[in-house]
Amino acid sequence: MSLPTVLILCTGNSCRSHMAEGILRAAAGDLIDVRSAGSKPAGYVHPKAIAVLDEIGIDISHHTSKHMDEFLNQDVRTVITVCGNADQACPVFPGQVNRHHWGFEDPAHAIGNDDEILAVFRRVRDEIRLVFEAYAAGLREGRVS
């Protein structure tokens, strides 16, 4: 029996959605198949997103930026959007049962020196971690889908 798919969407699929994918996979990957995609994929995963997840022991260095259309013919049970643009552009997927929107600031737009930009990536990572680990805990308790 295959695991239900949770698809995390963002516009560029370079930062937030990959951080959320990595965190949710680490927290609930035995219960769900976690994927991410974008409505206008950037074509890469931001190196700072990779770095700040590595700091918490999660490796997303193998992730690739994908278009959400790649998942239109798959059985996606839950769609979670992490930015406003993706929420507006998100199609309804065949078989989709649940849809959630939890918006986060885009750290790719952070300005400042390297330390200041990394601080924004870390803050957004920590915000994503709080939400997605709570979601995973709800899955484990059977209270969310």
Planar angle of CA 112, 115, 121, nearest 5 degrees: 85
Q: Which of 27, 37, 50, 83 is catalytic?
A: 83
Respond yes or no: is residue 90 known to be catalytic: yes
Q: How many CB atoms lie within 10 A of CB 95?
A: 11
Q: Which of 7, 10, 19, 60 is catalytic?
A: 10
Known catalytic membership, residue 15: no
3-state secondary structure 47-96: HHHHHHHHCCCCCCCCCCCCEHHHHCCCCEEEEEECCHHHHHHCCCCCCC
Does residue 10 have an active-site annotation?
yes
Annotated catalytic residue, options 23, 28, 90, 124: 90
> Which amino acids are annotated catalytic?
10, 83, 90
